[in-house]
Amino acid sequence: MSMTFSGQVALVTGAGAGIGRATALAFARQGLKVVVADLDPVAGQSTVDLLHQAGGEALFVACDVTKDAEVRQLHERVIEVYGRLDYAFNNAGIEIEKGRLAEGSEAEFDAIMGVNVKGVWLCMKYQLPLLVAQGGGAIVNTASVAGLGAAPKMSIYAASKHAVIGLTKSAAIEYAKKRIRVNAVCPAVIDTDMFRRAYEADPRKAEFAAAMHPVGRIGKVDEVASAVLYLCSDGAAFTTGHSLAVDGGATAI
């Protein structure tokens, strides 16, 4: 299996922390030029600094993925600086829901769908023509195990991740003959800043989260990053339209 990359360009949204930052670092360590996109300029630039420290080449672009103009400008900037785009990891997402379906608000619905669904759609809208013109490439979208089944008290979030999988599969079929592969990663509970903020006040919840996974622990950001790199690599040349669970066996139960 080949995981070799050479002189190529990768774009990572939501790269200011967590899975996005880990994947940006993983791309840089493989010798790729990395465009780091995030809503938070301080976090995004911090990721770029880490990539530079690791010997990589990187560029930060501030972007709100819910805004068409900003997403268009992000991709224009990629081409302006590097002249090409080979891989895109559409990872920007939010999770703010904590109640049953009937307890949700319209504001929560709009915010979650805006980032998690519209953001992925807008990014692919501008990425796909670039990849077509270039003769191929790969896109990976961040879905979730919540997009593979039910997620009680997270119904809007689950719906958004089911939608990401629908976008992924549809784009994969539409562009399969253009040598463009489109896949998704579906993480379970991963050790990110978001996870720590949610569970640090109650260690019992953290223990419960670990027990949800048959392997007996939560996942690591580097493990998701490895899955993204695999889906972008030539080793996954015959894989498209796939939703890869990175979940410690949780969906096998």
* Residues annotated as catalytic (active site), given as ranges: 157
CA proximity to 147, closest of 195, 98, 185, 120: 185
Write phi, then psi, for 129 (nearest 5 degrees).
-60, -35
Lookup: tokens for 163: 């939608």
Lookup: tokens for 71: 């997403």
> Residue 186 corresponds to which amino acid?
C
Chain centre to alpha carbon of residue 216: 24
| Residue listed under structure tokens 């493989």 | 30
Long-range contacts formed by 131-135: CB under 8 A, 24+ apart: 131/85, 131/175, 131/178, 131/180, 132/175, 132/178, 132/180, 134/84, 134/85, 134/86, 135/179
How does DSSP classify residue 163? H
Distance CA 49, CA 60 (A): 10
Instruction: Indicate the helix (H) or strand (E) that contains 142.
Output: strand 137-142
Exposed, middle or buried by CB within 10 Å (0-12, 13-18, 19+), for 21? buried
